Amino acid sequence: MGQILDTAVDSATEKAAQDAVQTLNSVRTNIGEVIYGQDRVVDLALAAILSGGHALLVGVPGLAKTLLVETLSTVLGLKDSRIQFTPDLMPADILGSEVLEQDEDGKRNFRFIKGPVFTQLLMADEINRASPRTQSALLQAMQERSVTIAGKPHALPKPFHVLATQNPIEQEGTYPLPEAQLDRFLFQIDVGFPELATERDILIATTGSTLPAAKKAMTAKALMDMQALVRQLPVGETVLDAILTLVRNARPDQSEDEVIRKTVAWGPGPRAGQALMLATRAKALIDGRVSPSVDDVIDLAGPVLRHRMALSFAARAEGATIDDTVARLVDRIR
């Protein structure tokens, strides 16, 4: 367990954190050689992975979401695979299945053939295009880190992370993820269009005779050690109080804000607080610090809360948005 103290960390943890910061700087530099102008998205994806969680990337096509996952797998030293979700995709296409084989002696046996979920970094492309049955099969694997085929459990590789993408502009032929399944994602990361200067660099760098390539900066074992380190970093009482204030005020039945009580249909559960406890530590480490601050809670409130809340019909009819609601919640902890 992480310490809930406003004191300095021990020397061993501090030394491990310093080494991790150097490695993470190298990771970010290598990613930046391939992914242009998406520093915020990259840092959030790294924070989700360092926290041991999964992330949902939401953005229109062509914003390098697939390239980001491929680059992360290379730089972090992870085995990766990609699934293009379609309405006819079945759970066995993701998890794997048993096949009947006959050996040289004529004896028949079932052999399990692993599906693409047996990897360390999985890209679930356009996850909302798959049927609810297939979505639930993947999300069960995300939560339990194992799958059960024909009554036999099969553990997934370690570490195991899912970066799923969702296209917000196409709704035909899609199956929106239920709220309980959205809650399985640590972050919802909104991927926006690049700035003018960045888009200029993208056009020049990606249309020449040679393309930028990512380089390995760490190993899967080093990543798991870093994930364990994140859980050892101290969290101050002020940060803990800020998280509790933020999450509890986002619930209409517990909020001290009358506007929130009237406009929010349902709010985040305890998993949102857990996500913030871990993610603020991961963000601090990425930024070169050994302990998170209230500013980290403020910065991560949107990615943690926007997919864990819903507004009432009346509030949406009046033009209210989740981001406006999160901004109102954040004002209470500034």
Map out the domains of the chain as residue ranges: 12-220, 235-334
Out of 7-11, 221-225, 231-235, 273-277, least confident range: 7-11
The residue among 320, 312, 286, 321 whose CA lies nearest residue 300 is 286
- In this prediction, residue 172 has a pLDDT band, given cuts at 50, 70 and 90, of low
Q: What is the mean pLDDT of residues 218-243?
A: 94
Percent of the chain scoring above 70 in pLDDT: 96
Q: 97 Cβ partners below 8 Å, 6+ apart?
A: 112, 113, 115, 149
Question: Does the pLDDT value for residue 148 go beyond 80?
Answer: yes
CATH 3.40.50.300 given to domain 12-220: yes
Sequence-ordered alpha helix ranges (H) in the chain: 11-32, 39-50, 65-76, 91-95, 132-144, 179-182, 196-206, 220-232, 237-249, 258-263, 270-286, 294-305, 313-317, 322-331
β-sheet with 80-84: strand ranges across: 80-84, 121-125, 161-166, 55-58, 187-190
pLDDT at residue number 297: 96
- The DSSP result for 88-140, as a single string, is T--HHHHHEEEEEEE-TTS-EEEEEEE-TTSSSEEEEETGGGS-HHHHHHHHH
In CATH, what class is 235-334? Answer: mainly alpha
Average pLDDT, the chain: 89
- In this prediction, residue 272 has a pLDDT band, given cuts at 50, 70 and 90, of very high
> Cis peptide leading into 159, omega within 30 of 0?
yes
- In this prediction, residue 1 has a pLDDT band, given cuts at 50, 70 and 90, of very low
Per-residue buried b or exposed e for 39-68, using 16+ beta carbons within 10 Å of the residue's own CB: eebbbbbbbbbbbbbbbbbbbeeebbbbeb
Question: Does the pLDDT value for residue 2 go beyond 50?
Answer: no
Greater confidence (209 vs 23) lies with 23
